[in-house]
Amino acid sequence: LEHIAHYSVAVLTQEQRADLHAEIVAHAVSIVDGYLLATILLIFALGLYELFISKIDIAGESKGSRVLFIRSLDELKDRLAKVILMILVVSFFERSLAMHVGTFVDLLYLAIGIALVALALFLSHRASAGHEDGREEH
């Protein structure tokens, strides 16, 4: 909130406002990154509990908490991989905010990075859709 209060000060120049805006966005992205890391730990802990100790009754009954319903170690690894991919996307976004594009090559590297992130998300989504179709047939 301190940064937002500074953003409303009238004496800031346009450049100072832009820097402050980038800093606010970077803080928000780091908060999302921490939340995703906590999600990984939660999914991992509950998945191991369900696989090796006892089934979580609520996970089987509720349609909203299907993320807690883990049937195999491979399914747990798939879910963790998706969240890790999201952490990598957020980290890439955070680094791209701090990147200063000075030359055409810098812009080209940024575009290639964005294309690779988009490809990773597409392949992840496509693979998970294929796994879900295979489960419905059994």
Per domain, the residue ranges of the chain are: 2-98
State pLDDT tens for residues 86-118: 888 877 877 777 777 788 888 888 888 888 888
Angstrom distance (rounded) from CA 93 to CA 114: 9
pTM above 0.85, yes or no: no
Angstrom distance (rounded) from CA 26 to CA 31: 9
Angstrom distance (rounded) from CA 8 to CA 86: 32
The pLDDT, as a whole number, for residue 14 is: 78
State pLDDT tens for residues 53-97: 777 665 556 666 565 667 777 777 777 787 888 888 877 877 777
pLDDT band, very low/low/confident/very high, at 4 (cuts 50, 70, 90)? low
- pLDDT exceeds cutoff 50 at 136: no
